[in-house]
Amino acid sequence: MTYQFDATKPIAIGCDHAGFEYKTALISWLQNKGYTVLDFGTNGTASVDYPDFAHPTASAVEKGEAAFGILLCGSANGVAITANKHQGIRAGLCWQNDVAQLIRMHNNANMICIPARFVALPLAQQMIDIFMNTPFEGGRHANRVGKIACN
């Protein structure tokens, strides 16, 4: 059940209006590091409905079109709730480095949700780096993760 990020696949990213500026900066940052990014919008700061962007981002991860996903909104709660409606998604809301590490180690998360109104951009970048480079521990956590799906 261990989820390994496939470095040959792109990274999916999506946001609402509150996360647009961070999304733009993160795409450039990731591309400068050599990653390919699938941008699912939004493409501006005009008010939008976050599910319209969280669902396609989560679908790309769920279908295996992306190695993992990044979602941003004001609190990150809305995008996390939306993404977690997808059976193959384990999206974790992160606001500090330790949480980014634990959602990978203990929850085998395949999406990271970042509250753009509550964390600085450098912290968001650190959390993504940690998320990308932390393996799932497996062991006792694999049994728990195996019980998450409703089917």
Please tell me the distance from the alpha carbon of residue 18 to that of residue 49, in angstroms, as a whole number: 11
The residue behind tokens 């049994």 is 143
Q: Which two tokens stand for residue 31?
A: 């591309």
Which one is catalytic: 15, 73, 94, 113?
73
Residue 73 annotated among the catalytic residues of the structure? yes
Residue 86 annotated among the catalytic residues of the structure? no
Total Cβ atoms within 10 A of residue 44: 9
Q: Which of 66, 81, 78, 75 is nearest to 94 (CA)?
A: 75
Catalytic residues: 73, 106
